[in-house]
Amino acid sequence: MAKFQCIIFDVDGTLLDNTNSIIALFQDIVLKYLGSEKSMTKKEVLSLWGPPGDEIFRNVFPPNIVDEAWTEFLSKYRETHTKQGFFSAKEIEAFRQYVEYLAIFTGKSRYTNTISLEELKLTGCFDLIYTGSDVENSKPYPDALFRIMEDLNLQKEEVIFIGDSHLDIIAGKAAGVTTAGAEWGAVELDKLHKSNPDHTFKTPDEFFQFIKGSL
C-alpha cells in the first residue's frame, strides 16, 4: 500500500509559473484605476495574498469601480495566461500510478482558477478542487484541507500537500498533513524555508520521484 493516498496541489507557483505575472497585472490595474499615488510594490502585493482575488479587489478598490477593475483583470488574465505549466495533463495523470486521489487547494478565486486550468488543459485532471471562493477561511487556514479529507474519507497520514508558499505550509501543518515545498515556483523562497515544510523539492520531477518512491 502506498504511503499517500492523495496529493493536494496548490496552483500558482506549483502547477504553473505565473505569480510574477499576476503581481504585474495587479499593479497595472491599481495604477490605471487608483493612480500612481496608490501604486504598490511587489512586496506589498504579496502581503495581500491569502483571500481569493475578488475579495482582495473589494479590499483595495472603492465600491464604485471594483467590479470594472475586477472584470478587466479577469479579461487580461486570460489574454496573457501562459499555455505551459510545470506539469502537463499527462504528467499529472502519471501520479495516479501511485496515489488514488489528486486534489487542488488554491487561494485563487474560482474564476481565475477555472481560467488557469482551462488554459493549461488540466480541466478534469483532479478529483476535487477547493478554491479560496469555496471556503469561509482560505490560506493560511486549513479549512479546505479538512474538507478534502472528509469528502474523500482520508486520514491526515494519507495526504501530502504541495505548495510554493509559506501559506501552504502553515495550512498543511494546521491540518496535520505532510507538507511539501515546491521550490521550483517559489517567489518568496526564504519564507517557504522558514515555514519548515516536511520536504522540499527543487523540480517537479524530484517531487514525482519522491511520490514514486513512497510505495
Tens of pLDDT along 165-208? 999 999 999 999 999 999 999 989 999 999 999 999 999 999 99
In order of 62, 65, 155, 161, 209, the CA distances from 179 in angstroms are 37, 39, 14, 5, 16
**Whether the Cβ atoms of residue 130 and residue 108 lie closer than 8 Å to each other:** no
Q: Is the pLDDT of residue 1 over 80?
A: no
Which fold does the domain 6-17+83-212 belong to in CATH?
Rossmann fold (3.40.50)
What pLDDT score does 215 carry?
61
Residue 6 pLDDT > 80, yes or no?
yes
> 102-135: per-residue pLDDT in tens?
999 999 989 999 999 999 999 999 999 999 999 9
In this prediction, residue 2 carries a pLDDT of 61
Question: What is the tens place of the pLDDT at every residue in 33-55?
Answer: 999 989 999 999 989 987 888 99
